[in-house]
């Protein structure tokens, strides 16, 4: 549209009919005022929406900060107390202990230290997701090897409760994903299954091909979850750390991390659970294509 056409369109007909100047300006002002007001209202509306989004984000960050300090003040305190007590026993009474007792205490300290490391690692990973600093470096990934490494890492945890880890993976499960993120997912899911399983039970890890994806399923016959627990499972404002069957501690962030990491890897995660029957968590990751 040319400038002349725009003027002929915008300027009302009374400008072309020799109307008195004062009446002309009054009529012209009344004619142009509504769209100007609408424009100002629209600008104000957009500013309000932007401000509301910023307020919402600030509230989310504040909730994350509160959760962070809650974990530091409560969930990590118990493992440290245990380590301090055991190490103090060794320091004060090692001379009067036989070698079997010293080895037993050392093993407990090592196991608690490993658990504490996983708690801290989850906490740090979660803080990175909240600040948008999670790194995603996809590569060709052998899921059989990845799952096997995680099983070896957590085998001692399972042996403490006489739990058997059954690894049933189809051959050639090659994925396209981030090894660190997916390794963290499998580690958290397996750790949870061990944590909430009874002594002498079996935890299964199943891997299979699923069209353009690979699917990993981690299942147990442990304490399970109620419908209420399932409905609030992925709510950041209300994460709950439930003690394990041997009173193992946690941060309540494991499944939240798993869901976020799986989605970063272009997959999906689903949880099925029945109270006193057990839990099954399945997630997908894209298959590697040449």
Look-up of token digits 């725009």: 6
How far from chain centre, in Å, is Cα 64? 12
Architecture of domain 140-286: 2-Layer Sandwich (3.30)
CA distance 216 to 258: 12
- pLDDT computed for residue 238 by the predictor: 57
Residue 287, helix vs strand vs coil: strand
What residues contact 87, with CB distance under 8 A and at least 6 apart?
109
Contact predicate 232/288, CB 8 Å = no
Q: Give the phi and the psi of residue 11 in degrees, each rounded to 5.
A: -70, 125
List the structure tokens of 217. Answer: 């399923």
Instruction: Encode 165-227 in three state secondary structure.
Output: EEEEECCCCEEEECHHHHHHHHHHHHHHHHHCCCCCCEEEEEEEEECCEEEEEEECCCCCCCH
Contact predicate 287/214, CB 8 Å = yes
Q: Domain segments of the chain: what residues? A: 3-58, 140-286
Look-up of token digits 């103090």: 88
DSSP string covering 249-279, please?
---S-HHHHHHHHHHHTT--EEEEEETTTEE
- pLDDT computed for residue 156 by the predictor: 82
Beta bridge partners of 69: none
CA distance 26 to 8: 19
Task: Please report, in tens digits, the pLDDT of each residue of the chain (290 residues total).
Answer: 544 444 444 455 544 455 555 555 555 555 666 776 777 777 877 787 887 777 777 777 676 666 666 656 555 666 677 778 878 888 888 888 888 888 888 888 887 787 777 777 777 777 777 677 788 899 999 999 999 999 998 888 898 899 999 999 999 999 999 998 999 999 999 999 999 999 999 999 999 999 899 999 999 999 999 888 888 887 765 556 677 888 776 666 778 889 989 999 999 999 999 999 999 999 999 999 86
**What pTM value is reported for the model?**
0.68
List the structure tokens of 86. Answer: 């055991």
Question: Residue 284: in which H helix or E strand, if any?
Answer: strand 278-286
- pLDDT computed for residue 14 by the predictor: 46
List the structure tokens of 236. Answer: 């950041």
Alpha carbons within 13 angstroms on the beta-carbon side of residue 244 total: 19
């Amino acid at each position: 549209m040319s400038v002349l056409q725009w003027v002929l369109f915008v300027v009302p007909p009374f400008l072309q009919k020799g109307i008195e100047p004062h009446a002309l300006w009054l009529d012209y002002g009344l004619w142009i005022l509504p769209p100007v007001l609408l424009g100002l209202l629209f600008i104000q509306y957009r500013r309000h929406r932007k401000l509301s989004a910023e307020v919402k984000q600030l509230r989310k960050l504040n909730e994350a900060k509160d959760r962070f300090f809650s974990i530091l003040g409560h969930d990590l305190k118990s493992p440290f107390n245990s380590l301090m007590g055991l190490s103090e026993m060794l320091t004060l009474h090692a001379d009067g202990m036989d070698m079997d007792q010293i080895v037993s205490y050392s093993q407990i300290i090592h196991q608690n230290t490993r658990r504490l490391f996983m708690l801290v690692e989850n906490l740090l990973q979660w803080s990175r997701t909240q600040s948008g600093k999670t790194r995603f470096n996809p590569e060709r990934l052998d899921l059989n090897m990845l799952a096997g490494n995680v099983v070896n890492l957590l085998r001692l945890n399972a042996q403490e409760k006489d739990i058997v880890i059954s690894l049933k993976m189809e051959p050639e499960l090659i994925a396209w994903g981030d090894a660190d993120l997916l390794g963290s997912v499998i580690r958290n899911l397996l750790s949870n299954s061990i944590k909430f399983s009874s002594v002498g039970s079996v935890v299964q890890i199943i891997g299979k091909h699923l069209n353009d994806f690979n699917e990993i399923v981690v299942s147990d016959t442990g304490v399970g979850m109620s419908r209420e627990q399932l409905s609030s499972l992925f709510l950041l404002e209300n994460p709950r750390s439930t003690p394990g069957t041997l009173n193992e501690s946690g941060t309540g962030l494991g499944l939240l991390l798993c869901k976020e990491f799986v989605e970063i890897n272009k997959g999906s995660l689903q949880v099925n659970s029945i109270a006193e029957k057990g839990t099954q968590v399945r997630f997908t990751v894209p298959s590697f294509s040449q």
